[in-house]
Amino acid sequence: SLPEPPADQPPVCPRHPDRVAYTTCQRCGRPACPDCQVPAAVGFHCVDCVAQAARTAPEQRTALGAPVRRGRPVVTLALIGICVVAYVLQRTVPGFTDRLAFLPYYGAAEPWRFLTSAFLHAPGQLLHIAFNMVALWMVGPYLEQTLGRARYVTLYLLSAVGGSVGALALATATDGWLTWLVGASGAVFGLFGAVLVVLRRLGRDARGIVGVLVLNGVLGFVLPGISWQAHLGGLVIGAALGAAYAYAPKERRRLVAVLAPVVVGVVLVGVSLAVYASAGFR
C-alpha cells in the first residue's frame, strides 16, 4: 500500500507526494490530488478504489451470456476492412480474383476457395460490395454484442463456407460448377438467419428481418448473376448456428460454443466430399 503522510505535515496525494491534497476519497479516506480523483455520486473516489471496485464487480453479460463490451464492434469493422482491402487488390493486382474466387469445379483441389471467395466482390460492380457491407453493418454489431466475438466470428466464417457449399450442392455440375462465385452474400445471409433466431429467442420483433429475407430471396430468383444457392446455404448454416447459440442451456453455453461450430464444419466437409464423390472427383 502507498505510504501515509506524517501527521504534522499537510496531506499529500499518495500517488504524487509532491502535491498537497485536501480532498479525500469517500471510500478509503486517503487524500487525492485532482489527477487521482474520480467523481462519484457523493464527493470523489481515488483511482485505486475505482480500480479495485472494477476488479471485484461482477462482469456484465448479455442475455445470451456474452461479456458486455462498450467499445466499437471491432470484429465487424475488421470484416468490412478485409473486404474493402480485398476489393482494392482485385482492382489493382492482376489475377488476384482468379486465385481466390470460388469455382465449384476447382473446389476439391483448392478448398480454401470455399472461404476466400466470401471476401471478394465483383470488381466492376461497386454496388455489389456496397450492398453487402451495408447489410453486414446493419446486423453485425448487434450479433457481435449479443453473441460475443468468438461465436460471432465462427458464425460469419461458417456461414460464408455454407454459402459456397450451397452453390456446390445445389448447382448443376454441367453448368453451375463452371460459374465463378464471389461475394459476402452467403455470410450476410447467415447473419440474417442467426439474427432472426436470436430476436425470436429474446422475444423481440423480427418482422423487419423477415421482410429483408423475403425481398432478397425474390431478387435471387429474378435478377441475373445472383446465386440463390449460396444465399440459401449461408442462411441455413447461420440459422442453425444461431439456434444452437441462442437456445443452449446457460450452464452449457461454452460447451455449445465449441461443439456447434465443429459439428457444422464436419457436416459442411461431409456434404462437399459426398457431392464431389458423386460427380466422380477423387
Percentage above 70 pLDDT, the chain = 91
Domain with residue 187: its CATH number is: 1.20.1540.10
The reply to whether 151 and 28 lie within a common domain is: no
Over residues 131-187, the pLDDT tens digits come to 899 989 999 999 999 999 999 999 999 999 999 999 999 987 656 788 899 999 999
Looking at 23-32, 56-65, 202-211, 220-229, which range is the least confident one? 220-229
Number of domains in the chain: 2
Residue 174's pLDDT is 59
117, 159, 164, 185: which one is catalytic?
185
pLDDT at 226: 80
Q: Are residues 128 and 52 in the same domain?
A: no
Considering the domain boundaries, does residue 64 fall inside one? Answer: no
Give the per-residue pLDDT at 11: 87
Tell me which of 45, 121, 128, 231 is the catalytic residue: 231
Question: Do 96 and 202 fall within a single domain?
Answer: yes
In the numeric block, the cell 470460388 is attached to: 102
Annotated active-site residue 185? The verdict is yes
* pLDDT at residue 217, rounded to an integer: 67
> Is the model's pLDDT at 221 over the cut of 80?
no
The per-residue DSSP string of 184-241 comes to SHHHHHHHHHHHHHHHHHTT---HHHHHHHHHHHHHHHHSTT--HHHHHHHHHHHHHH
Return the minimum-mean-pLDDT range out of 73-82, 171-180, 187-196: 171-180
| Same domain, residue pair 164 and 233 | yes
Average pLDDT over residues 103-126: 94
Those residues whose C-beta lies under 8 Å from the C-beta of residue 74, and which sit 6 or more positions away, are 149
Q: Is 16 a catalytic residue?
A: no
Residue 104 has a pLDDT of 92
Q: Which class for 15: exposed (0-12), middle (13-18), buried (19 or more C-beta within 10 A)?
A: middle
Position 67 confidence tier, pLDDT thresholds 50, 70, 90: confident
Q: Give tens-digit pLDDT for 5-40.
A: 555 678 888 888 888 888 888 888 889 898 888 888
Range of the domain at 111: 74-278
What pLDDT does 91 receive? Answer: 95
106: which residues sit within 8 A by CB, 6+ positions away? 113
Residues 13 and 78 occupy one common structural domain: no
6 and 124 housed in the same domain: no
- Tell me: do 126 and 253 sit in the same domain: yes
Total-model pTM = 0.79
User: Do the domain assignments include residue 146?
Assistant: yes
Whether residue 116 is found in the same domain as residue 51: no
Whether 35 and 89 share a structural domain: no
Assess whether 41 and 138 both reside in one domain. no
Task: Please check the confidence at residue 204 and state whether its pLDDT lies above 90.
Answer: no
Q: Is residue 168 part of a domain?
A: yes
Say yes or no: 197 and 143 in one domain: yes
Is residue 69 assigned to a domain?
A: no
Q: For residue 63, tell me if it sits in a domain.
A: no
Question: In terms of pLDDT, which residue wins out, 272 or 206?
Answer: 272
Give the three-state DSSP class for 38. strand
Do 37 and 78 reside in the same domain of the chain? no
